[in-house]
A and B are shown apart, each in its own frame.
Chain A
Amino acid sequence: MTRTILDVHILQTVPPSNINRDDTGAPKSAVYGGVRRSRVSSQAWKRATRKAFDDLLDPAELGVRTKKVVDALTGRITTLEPSVTPEQAWPMAAELVQAATGAKIEAPTRKSGGKDASDQGPEGQAPQSSYLLFLSAHQLDALAKLAVEGIGKGAEPKVFVKEKEVKARAKRSASTHHSVDIALFGRMVADAADINVDAAAQVAHALSVHPVDMESDYFTAVDDSNTSAEPGAGMIGTVDFNSATLYRYAAVDVDLLAKNLDAGLTDAERMGEPVRRAVEAFIEGFAMSMPTGKANTFGNHTLPDAVIVKLRSSRPVSFVGAFEKPVIHHETGEGHVRAACKALAEHIPAIEKTFGATADATWILRVGEPTADLAPLGTPVDLRPLITEVGQAIADRLRKQA
């Protein structure tokens, strides 16, 4: 079997900032190569990437995470079959959601509206699942289609869903055609392990390529309403921060992504299309996003200095080893980016040659002269061509594999 694995490596410099902090408010850190580094946790950057999807993808390609799944499904049923009223659809929708996901469905206990809740009390609301369910638009549509069939037959919901074939179809609806965000980052459902999805993307914690010292900003704030009779600060405090050139790494198992998205199983023509869109959104979202921690305090809205994307057919390879020996600024006197690029330019060919782990294709996006050392490593590209070329290469490979 030919495998398709995508590695994304990013060098990104941030000025004084506190992107991701621990419970004491200090920026997160980790020891690597025997020295302390700045760290941004994987979950922080995954969330930022997922948030970026809102602007990059059609809402239909993203999942809805809500307790009001019965409402959501009812909406789709009435769109599909306008003659059905929501009240008629609820019981069928509730039974189907329960059969598909294993989640418990019950009447909402919380009262909505004002004091006079007589006209919209709990009995006026659709039942809800007991925790947040994460379903894609495709999944809801498949369930709605099934519900309309049942309602059309005039079947009793409980009896209809008990039918072996109906139950199997409902289950299949929730375990195929996942949304892009679920396919990439996985889904956890507290007590329905059946519909868990194995994430296709692995995101490593970002680490600085150099040692960092924690710094602390002492501040005073003036109380504007104080008169001259009340001199002194309104408040004083400290904010911890550091600045860093980060090495960020993520691997996408494209085959697993295709499996999660269920691409092209029915339509050979569109083979690879959903996967291509997911991969393109991931590269753009991961490269261009920034966790929001203390962004208003530090305004640390930077973009990457360099992005290296590698297409591989056996296994992913992280290049974090290039920075195990920390890049020390005063060794070169020219900033961390140049030294980091030099380290990568030496490390990448060495590790690929030693272990016979050459990539099938390499794209290099780089900014400015300090990144010049990376140029010989692959095809030079800007962001737009990078995204479309990688997407195209993925689509071509999957088509060939099919």
Chain B
Amino acid sequence: MNSVLFLRLAGPLQSWGASARFARRTTETAPTKSGVIGLLAAALGRDRTADLTDLAALLFAVRIDQPGTRLRDFQTAHHADTDKAMPVSERFYLADAVFVAALAGDDTLIRTLHTALQAPVYLPYLGRRSCPPQGPLDLGVMDTDDPVQALSAQEWQASDWYREQRRRDRTVTLTILAEDTAHSPVGDMLRDQPISFDPRHRRYALRSMTSTQTEVLNPRYTPAVRNRHAPLPVPRHEPEALLSPMDGP
């Protein structure tokens, strides 16, 4: 039997690198599979060198509930001995974003992960250690095979202020980035399929994903009130009335 685990990934800052190297640490626009699998492996207490095959085999999809904005951070460092400036590094973050991630797989494994999230062995973070999650990650488990369909059924998880901004919309359209199964058509490629987190030779394979859209209800929807004010009477505008008639021919 299969089921799907949902995570709400929200916090002031997140950073999900798939091709970040050296002094320029970029982020994708949505959580990566390797990042989320890493978070789950850490919750289970697996070491970086541990076997990941079972977790990597989970089918991954993520919904962009609140896209956030990109933030570029600039970091300097100094040599401990000479106090000389070291190369400057750039780090990119997603600020003010909210995502819902879904992982589909064998029910026993999904339940184990769900329990591990309640009391994680290694503390969770959103892609980078300085990005602790805001609020609990856990959104529960659903008995289904299809993460995309399951994500479409999830309530809109955007922040209250963001939903309020869209209060005139009864529904909102959200993007889901879903991992392609072997027999489905090939979409965009991203190198974030984790093979090993061993710090001596981290390895990631290419993964293909397809972008789809889903429409969800806006819980803050408030229809515009029509005719709230009766049309104001147009004041008479006859300046000539103030003029006294001229005597003349």
* Contact between chains at A41 and B11 (CB < 8 Å): no
Q: Which of A197-230 contact B (CB under 8 A)?
A: 198-199, 202-205, 207
Chain A residue nearest to B202 in the complex (CB): A193
Query: Is A107 interfacial (CB 8 A cutoff)?
Result: no
* Contact between chains at A205 and B13 (CB < 8 Å): yes
* Contact between chains at B159 and A324 (CB < 8 Å): yes
* Contact between chains at A31 and B96 (CB < 8 Å): yes
* Contact between chains at A204 and B71 (CB < 8 Å): no
* Contact between chains at B95 and A30 (CB < 8 Å): yes
* Contact between chains at A256 and B75 (CB < 8 Å): no
Contact segment of B30-38, B117-125, B227-235 = B117-125
Min C-beta distance of B29 to chain A, whole Å: 15
Of the candidates B93, B132, B198, the one whose C-beta lies within 8 Å of that of A202 is: B132
* Contact between chains at B200 and A194 (CB < 8 Å): yes
Q: How far is the CA of A23 from the CA of B134 in the complex (A)?
A: 28
* Contact between chains at B160 and A325 (CB < 8 Å): yes
Query: Is B53 interfacial (CB 8 A cutoff)?
Result: no
Q: Which of B93-142 contact A (CB under 8 A)?
A: 93, 95-96, 117-125, 129-136
Query: Is B80 interfacial (CB 8 A cutoff)?
Result: yes
Contact with A along B71-90 (1 / 0, CB 8 A): 10111000111000000100
Interface size counted on chain A using CB atoms at 8 A = 44
Taking A32-B96, A198-B122, A320-B12 as contacts, is the C-beta distance between A43 and B161 under 8 angstroms? Answer: no
* Contact between chains at B81 and A30 (CB < 8 Å): no
* Contact between chains at B132 and A3 (CB < 8 Å): no
* Contact between chains at B199 and A41 (CB < 8 Å): no
Chain B residues near A324 (CB, 8 Å)? Answer: 134, 159-161
Chain B residues near A256 (CB, 8 Å)? Answer: 122
Min C-beta distance of A57 to chain B, whole Å: 17
* Contact between chains at A31 and B130 (CB < 8 Å): no
Contact with A along B41-54 (1 / 0, CB 8 A): 00000000000000
Q: How far is the CA of A199 from the CA of B125 in the complex (A)?
A: 13
Query: Is A34 interfacial (CB 8 A cutoff)?
Result: yes
Q: How far is the CA of A199 from the CA of B123 in the complex (A)?
A: 10
Chain A residue nearest to B10 in the complex (CB): A321
Chain B residues near A251 (CB, 8 Å)? Answer: 123, 132
Q: How far is the CA of A32 from the CA of B96 in the complex (A)?
A: 5
* Contact between chains at B75 and A43 (CB < 8 Å): yes
Q: How far is the CA of A264 from the CA of B78 in the complex (A)?
A: 35
* Contact between chains at A34 and B80 (CB < 8 Å): no
Query: Is A345 interfacial (CB 8 A cutoff)?
Result: no
Chain A residues near B93 (CB, 8 Å)? Answer: 30
Taking A32-B95, A194-B200, A196-B199 as contacts, is the C-beta distance between A315 and B124 under 8 angstroms? Answer: yes
Chain B residues near A103 (CB, 8 Å)? Answer: none
Min C-beta distance of B21 to chain A, whole Å: 14
* Contact between chains at A33 and B130 (CB < 8 Å): no
Chain A residues near B125 (CB, 8 Å)? Answer: 202
Min C-beta distance of A293 to chain B, whole Å: 10
A-B pairs with the 10 shortest C-beta distances? A42-B130, A193-B199, A314-B119, A193-B200, A65-B80, A32-B12, A23-B74, A30-B95, A318-B132, A31-B95
Which residues in B have some Cβ–Cβ distance to A below 8 Å? 11-13, 68-69, 71, 73-75, 79-81, 88, 93, 95-96, 117-125, 129-136, 159-162, 165, 198-200
Question: Can you list 12 residue pairs at the A/B interface with Cβ under 8 Å?
Answer: A33-B159, A34-B159, A41-B73, A41-B130, A43-B75, A66-B80, A205-B12, A315-B123, A315-B124, A320-B11, A355-B135, A357-B136
